[in-house]
């Protein structure tokens, strides 16, 4: 016997009950208008009827069998849906409209299953496009599934009392040392910075910006080390340095030796004795490095999703933002400023999607060098004001000894918190030992009131 073709998921009874409920109860449409749309109905006739209901609701017209049939007749669709008699059948089959929301959920669930089937077919078709970039195709496939996941039941308005008790509970727990820790973000390992930021928060885009050679890669690696020491998983996307160079820096930092001594073979016997401990520490840390050249935002998304799925991902670090591209999907972008804007928006979206903080390193423009006071400002973010807009936290690095050799602040790095969406801004000081590629917390923090006016 021939196989019976698969019938897509649907519920005739639920679709009829939704439509009948709307026509017998004037407020029923209000309960479902935000979750249900004409394309969610399996039967074309039902889709047309619900379209009429949406149109009438948008015009604030009353909704009943007469107004719906009139709209369908005026638009030449009444006979197409089965005429007046079918509308009467819909209303006669529903005893009460009190369950209209539950009926709508069933219709929406079936529609989501059908979209999943369609997405599966689309993904299958992508697999045959052998001439196209594989990373782009994988990203398109992931986007197909993501679109399906976003179609079913977005959040609705809730009364404030539903959130109030949760907020009170959170405030109470924040004031209890034993429970406050669960609301802290990832601890960077620098106490003065963590005190201001309360750690790196999930969904946040954190920008770490500086002029070249200020030590932003070293600081990012130190943060990665500190977070990984607590069993967290850190992903490093490096577009500037190779994975070998990054691991060497991590090694030097943990060993706390002069990098020149390591490269020139001048390590002491004591240094060699400590190597085993450093090796064990790095071996046991969940730090994952990707040094692919020319990474596009599509490729980055795909790799980050895969890393989170396979090994977990608590923090993603991108070094650095201006070396990224948006790939083939960005052919309509006409200039670099637009491209960087698109990249920063995508990074923020990825942070929200993966529910992790993303730290993106960024170059500052040369405008800093032309000023008498070379302390960086938000306006110095290179190539795009959108970086400032999309970021939740903007950290800017400044070393006085970079510009003045005989300064009495040698080794001191100022970290300016120029933007902090969730709290205070200010300035902290870290000690940077350049030869070790390592920062040390000296636990000094300041407000912007401590700075000269021209530096604000």
Beta strand pairing call for 412-420 and 426-433: antiparallel
Q: What are phi and psi of 238, to 5 degrees?
A: -110, 120
Question: What is the Cα–Cα distance from 21 to 95, expressed in whole angstroms?
Answer: 8
Cis peptide before 282 (omega within 30 of 0): no
Percent helix, strand and coil across the chain, each rounded to 5? Answer: 55, 15, 30
Sheet of strand 315-319, all strands in order from the earlier edge strand to the far edge: 286-290, 233-238, 315-319, 358-363, 205-210, 393-399, 412-420, 426-433, 438-446
Beta strand pairing call for 286-290 and 412-420: unpaired
* Known catalytic residue at 240: yes
* 364 close to 382: Cβ distance less than 8 angstroms: yes
Give the bridge partners for 272, in sequence order: none
* Catalytic-role residue among 55, 88, 142, 240: 240
Integer angstrom CA distances of residue 54 from 32, 48, 101: 11, 10, 16
Question: What is the Cα–Cα distance from 351 to 7, expressed in whole angstroms?
Answer: 38
Report the SS3 class of residue 85: helix
Q: Which residues of 61-78 are buried (b: 16+ CB within 10 A; e: fewer)?
A: eebbeebbbebbeeeebb
Q: Which residues of 96-119 are buried (b: 16+ CB within 10 A; e: fewer)?
A: ebeebeebbbbbbbbbbebbbeeb
Question: What is the Cα–Cα distance from 87 to 206, expressed in whole angstroms?
Answer: 56
CB count in 10 Å sphere of residue 218: 21
Strands of 250-290, DSSP E: 286-290
Q: Which residues of 408-437 are buried (b: 16+ CB within 10 A; e: fewer)?
A: eeebbbbbbbbbbeeeeebbbbbebebebb
Q: Which are the catalytic amino acids?
A: 240
């Amino acid at each position: 016997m021939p196989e019976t073709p698969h019938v897509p998921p649907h519920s005739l009874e639920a679709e009829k009950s939704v439509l009948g409920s709307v026509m017998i109860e004037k407020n029923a449409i209000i309960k479902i208008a935000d979750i249900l749309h004409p394309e969610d109905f399996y039967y074309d006739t039902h889709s047309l009827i619900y379209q009429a209901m949406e149109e009438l609701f948008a015009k604030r017209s009353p909704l009943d069998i007469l107004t719906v049939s009139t709209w369908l007749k005026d638009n030449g669709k009444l006979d197409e849906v089965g005429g007046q008699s079918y509308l009467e059948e819909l209303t006669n089959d529903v005893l009460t409209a009190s369950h209209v929301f539950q009926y709508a959920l069933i219709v929406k669930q079936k529609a989501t299953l059908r979209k999943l089937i369609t997405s599966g077919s689309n993904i299958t078709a992508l697999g045959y496009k052998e001439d196209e970039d594989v990373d782009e195709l994988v990203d398109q496939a992931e986007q197909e599934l993501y679109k399906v996941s976003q179609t079913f039941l977005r959040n609705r308005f809730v009364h404030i009392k539903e959130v109030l008790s949760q907020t009170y509970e959170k405030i109470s727990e924040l004031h209890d040392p034993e429970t406050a820790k669960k609301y802290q973000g990832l601890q960077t390992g620098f106490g003065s910075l963590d005190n201001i930021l309360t750690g790196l928060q999930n969904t946040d885009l954190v920008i770490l910006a500086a002029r070249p050679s200020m030590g932003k890669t070293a600081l990012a690696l130190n943060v990665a080390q500190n977070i990984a020491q607590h069993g967290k998983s850190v992903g490093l996307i490096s577009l500037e340095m190779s994975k070998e160079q990054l691991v060497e820096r991590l090694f030097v930092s943990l060993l706390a030796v002069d990098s020149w001594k390591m490269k020139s073979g001048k390590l002491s016997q004591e240094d060699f004795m400590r190597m085993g401990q450093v090796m064990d520490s790095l071996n046991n840390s969940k730090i994952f490095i990707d040094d692919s050249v020319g990474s596009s935002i599509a490729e980055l998304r795909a790799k980050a999703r895969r890393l989170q799925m396979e090994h977990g991902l608590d923090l993603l670090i991108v070094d650095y933002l201006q070396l990224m591209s948006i790939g083939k999907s960005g052919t309509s972008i006409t200039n670099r400023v637009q491209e960087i804007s698109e990249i920063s928006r995508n990074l923020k979206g990825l942070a929200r999607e993966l529910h992790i903080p993303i730290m993106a390193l960024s170059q500052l423009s040369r405008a800093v060098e032309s000023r008498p006071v070379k302390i960086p400002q938000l306006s110095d973010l290179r190539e795009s004001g959108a970086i400032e807009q999309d970021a939740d936290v903007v950290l800017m690095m400044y070393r006085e000894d970079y510009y003045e050799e005989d300064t009495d602040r040698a080794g001191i790095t100022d970290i300016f918190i120029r933007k902090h969406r969730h709290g205070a801004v200010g300035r902290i000081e870290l000690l940077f030992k350049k030869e070790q590629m390592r920062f040390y917390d000296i636990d000094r923090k300041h407000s912007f009131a401590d700075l000269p006016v021209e530096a604000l």
